[in-house]
Amino acid sequence: MNELQSSVIDFSQRNTNGRIIAEYIWLGGNLIDIRSKCMTLPEDVDVNHLPEWNFDGSSTNQASGHDSEVILKPKTIFPDPFRLGKHILVWCETYYPNGERTDSNFRKIAVEIFNKTDHEKPWFGIEQEYILYRKEINWPLGFPITGYPKPQGPYYCGVGSDVIVGRQVMEAHMRACLHCGINISGTNAEVMPGQWEFQVGPCESISAGDQMWIARYLLLRCAELFGVCICWDPKPVMSNDWNGSGCHTNYSTLGSRSEGGLEVIKQQIEKLGHAHSKYISLTGVDNEKRLSGKCETSDLNTFTFGVADRGASIRIPRVTDANKKGYIEDRRPASNMDPYVITAAIADITILNAEH
């Protein structure tokens, strides 16, 4: 449990006297550090015209102390699943006072790319893997304090206290996502003990990144309730006895979903192959530790594809091959990737022929 015990008085039931609470949320300068702070607003505020705000960017690795203000521009709004009522979560982009985007604001670039690819209606389904971990010992939940649990095998989609840890966190998170209108398509226990996955999608264009970032925020908040941490590292336990965490990105377009789609898919895969070496650098910090060619991953330096092949860079699902249309799975992105970067890069490469 947390150091702090819960109060015997439930303040969430108090009257807010005509005010709502807006939690402004943004991505910090370390590219995986979600930050937030809240303000109160009149209950009848026009949520389509929420005020801009600012924060101390020198504390988030986004500005120097001498010119510390970074601007928050509200972009998408979700109902707050923790505070309930009319309270809201406000997902923001970050800008410098001169109007330029900050270095961590890839949403702006993604919007510019998706404005040019909207006619192809790109859909993304992202599988977020993560591990629950104990910060006191910097070690996964479900691992003994020293040493290792019994080998991988019984944990994936497991049932029972001998193989499962943290199911309450997954369940709370899924409920929170559903409350927010996040298109969470499922969850499962993963191969390593304490490792889980949730999927968000299919979502079109920019909403894939928007929904994934809010889903990550909700996961951090749910884990707080249980005093446990989320580790987004691609290879938290450095041995090929233990799987890393990925963020497989499933992808389709109007063309790939239509009659003759398999031909479109073949062209898309060829373009992804050409762009492989540059694209890999976008797939997350330390992903080279994960993409070993073992543990259901492809090799970092080799682009491969295949039907139902979980050791390939791109898997063509059997159902896509059978229907001669549908979607593909890019298995390269790591758990700590920025979904704006990955979704926009895939659309850019396959629709706009970018080399990356």
Chosen residue from 57, 74, 125, 140 binding ligand ADP by CB under 6 A:
125
Quick one: which of 221, 248, 276, 332 contacts Mn ion (CB under 5 A)? 248
- Residue nearest ligand ADP (C-beta atom): 125
Q: Is the dihedral of CA 16, 82, 215, 71 positive or negative?
A: positive
Instruction: Out of 80, 93, 127, 210, name the contact with Mn ion by CB under 5 A.
Output: 127
Residue 127 or residue 338: which is nearer to ligand ADP going by CB?
Answer: 127
Q: Looking only at residues 250 through 279 of this chain, which bind ligand ADP when binding is defined by CB under 6 A?
A: 250-252, 257
Does residue number 348 form part of the binding site for ligand ADP (CB under 6 A)? no
Determine which helix (DSSP H) or strand (DSSP E) holds 289, and give its type and residue range: helix 287-290
The residue nearest Mn ion at its CB is 248
User: Based on CB atoms, which residue is closest to ligand ADP, 104 or 183?
Assistant: 183
Prior bond of 144 cis (ω within 30°):
no
Query: Which of residues 23, 80, 120, 197 is near Mn ion by CB under 5 A?
Result: 197
Q: Which is nearer to Mn ion, 76 or 249 (CB)?
A: 249
291 phi and psi, to 5 degrees? Answer: -80, 75
Q: Which residues, in sequence order, are CB contacts of 46 under 8 Å at separation 6+? A: none
- Quick one: 74 or 125, whose CB is closer to Mn ion? 125
Binding part of the chain for Mn ion, among 65-73, 120-128, 163-171, 301-309 by CB under 5 A, reads: 120-128
Q: Is the dihedral of CA 251, 254, 256, 258 positive or negative?
A: positive
Residue 185 touches ligand ADP, criterion: CB under 6 A? yes
Q: Rank residues 127 and 338 by Cβ distance to Mn ion and give the closer one.
A: 127
Closest CA to 327 of 241, 242, 251: 251
Distance CA 106, CA 22 (A): 23
* Cα–Cα distance, 317 to 334 (Å, whole number): 20
Comparing CB distances to ligand ADP, the nearer of 236 and 246 is 246
Among residues 172 and 215, whose Cβ is nearest to ligand ADP? 215
Among Mn ion, ligand ADP, none, residue 250 binds (CB under 5-8 Å by kind): ligand ADP
| Axis crossing angle, helix 339-352 with helix 261-274, rounded to the nearest 10 | 110
Burial grade of 127 (CB within 10 A; 0-12, 13-18, 19 or more): buried
Compute CA distances 67 → 29, 54, 74, 233, whole Å. Answer: 15, 12, 22, 32
Residue 343: CB minimum distance to ligand ADP, A: 10
Residue ranges binding ligand ADP (CB under 6 A): 123-125, 127, 185-186, 199, 201-202, 248, 250-252, 257, 326-327, 329
Residue ranges binding Mn ion (CB under 5 A): 127, 197, 248
